[in-house]
């Protein structure tokens, strides 16, 4: 056991192997193609192959094949075993030695907000998908959720087709604007209970840990902004994205927040992120 833990820690001691592991943790529970990892982290395919092999040998990753593509995800059970060893064996489970977050996870507890849950949706441009999610959740359950959206590299303006779809659905768009995620990393920013990425590119990017360690999940979906074809075909892509997000958010708002511990809540939001196209339709 200790030999395996030592191998895992040694493997993660390399900066680029650690970067791969962290990216796949952010994309949980997705299975990510090797080519996407290579592009996102700017690692040569041959070098990446060696690093992935190291992480697989250490039991930190799992590999699956989809057609001709090899895809990778975090081996959750093995990683949990490593953390259990560090926090429960080495630290003997002492709260004065282990971090408050680790103790809370071990006990299955989380602090409940005194008023509304604060939620942040992130994508790259903050011009369509995250704006959809922000608007839908605010209008669907604004009495229970305080909602924001932001982009890692936001456009200066919202996408006109996204704005038109929101208007057609009866939403007020007057207060919407594109925002940089850095706006929500300032000392006076809200402390979020939930942070969701709604595009793969934003989830792949390196972001610091959020204050308060919110429940986070990846709800990746196709970018309607990249749709091609006629005006009608492009409009259809935006309507499809809106519908998919509305269905996911409907399931999210129906969760019994008050009765779920943090581990159960994390599993629930991860499951929502894995809803298929048929379920989103």
Q: Which pLDDT tens digit goes with each residue over 102-146?
A: 545 444 544 555 568 999 999 999 999 999 999 999 999 999 999
Does 56 score more than 50 pLDDT? yes
Mark whether 47 and 173 lie in a shared domain.
no
Mark whether 53 and 128 lie in a shared domain.
no
Does 72 score more than 90 pLDDT? yes
Number of helices (H), then strands (E), in the chain: 12, 7
pLDDT at 67: 87
To the query of whether residue 123 is one of the catalytic residues in this protein, the response is yes
Q: Is residue 262 part of a domain?
A: yes
State the Cα–Cα distance between residues 211 and 42, nearest whole angstrom: 28
Question: Which entry of 90, 91, 98, 123 is annotated as an active-site residue?
Answer: 123
Question: Which entry of 90, 91, 98, 207 is annotated as an active-site residue?
Answer: 207
Question: What radius of gyration do the chain's Cα atoms show?
Answer: 20
CATH code of the domain covering residue 260 = 3.40.50.2300
Mark whether 250 and 178 lie in a shared domain.
yes
pLDDT at 133: 98
- How large a percentage of the chain has pLDDT more than 70? 86
Alpha helices by DSSP H, listed for the chain, are 2-12, 15-26, 34-41, 45-57, 76-84, 100-107, 129-141, 160-168, 200-204, 231-253, 262-273, 277-280
To the query of whether residue 98 is one of the catalytic residues in this protein, the response is no
Mean pLDDT of 174-180: 94
Question: Tokens standing for 158?
Answer: 């919202």
To the query of whether residue 207 is one of the catalytic residues in this protein, the response is yes
Q: Is residue 165 part of a domain?
A: yes
Q: Which element (helix H / strand E) includes 146?
A: strand 145-151
State the Cα–Cα distance between residues 208 and 188, nearest whole angstrom: 16
Asked which of 40-54, 209-223, 241-255 is least confident by mean pLDDT, the reply is 209-223
Mark whether 51 and 140 lie in a shared domain.
no
CATH code of the domain covering residue 42 = 1.10.10.10
Domain boundary among 76, 94, 126: 76
Does 281 score more than 50 pLDDT? no
Q: Is residue 111 part of a domain?
A: no
> How confident is the prediction for the chain on average, in pLDDT?
88
Domain boundary among 76, 97, 128: 76
Mark whether 154 and 38 lie in a shared domain.
no
Mean pLDDT of 35-39: 93
Question: Which entry of 90, 91, 98, 199 is annotated as an active-site residue?
Answer: 199
Q: Is residue 95 part of a domain?
A: no
Tell me the whole-structure pTM to 2 decimals.
0.77
* Residue range(s) defining the domain that contains residue 233: 117-280
């Amino acid at each position: 056991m200790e030999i395996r833990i030592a191998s895992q820690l040694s493997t993660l001691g390399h900066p680029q192997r650690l970067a791969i592991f962290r990216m796949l943790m952010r994309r949980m529970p997705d299975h990510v193609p090797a080519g996407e990892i290579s592009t996102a982290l700017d690692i040569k395919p041959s070098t990446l192959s060696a690093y992935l092999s190291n992480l697989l040998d250490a039991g930190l990753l799992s590999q699956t094949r989809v057609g001709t593509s090899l895809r990778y995800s975090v081996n959750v059970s093995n990683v949990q075993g490593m953390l259990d060893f560090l926090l429960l064996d080495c630290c003997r489970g002492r709260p004065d030695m282990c971090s408050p977050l680790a103790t809370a996870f071990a006990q299955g507890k989380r602090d409940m907000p005194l008023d509304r849950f604060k939620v942040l949706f992130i994508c790259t441009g903050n011009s369509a998908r995250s704006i959809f999610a922000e608007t839908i959740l605010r209008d669907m359950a604004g009495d229970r959720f305080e909602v924001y959206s932001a982009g890692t590299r936001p456009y200066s303006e919202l996408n006109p087709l996204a704005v038109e779809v929101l208007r057609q659905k009866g939403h007020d768009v007057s207060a919407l604007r594109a925002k940089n995620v850095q706006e929500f990393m300032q000392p006076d920013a809200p402390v979020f209970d939930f942070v969701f990425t709604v595009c793969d590119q934003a989830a792949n990017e390196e972001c610091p840990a959020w204050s308060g360690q919110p429940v986070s999940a990846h709800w990746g979906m196709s970018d309607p902004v990249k749709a091609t074809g006629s005006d009608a075909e492009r409009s259809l892509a935006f309507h499809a994205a809106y519908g998919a997000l509305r269905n996911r958010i409907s399931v999210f708002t129906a969760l019994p927040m008050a009765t779920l511990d943090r581990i159960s809540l994390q599993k629930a939001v991860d499951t929502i992120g894995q809803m298929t196209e048929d379920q989103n339709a």
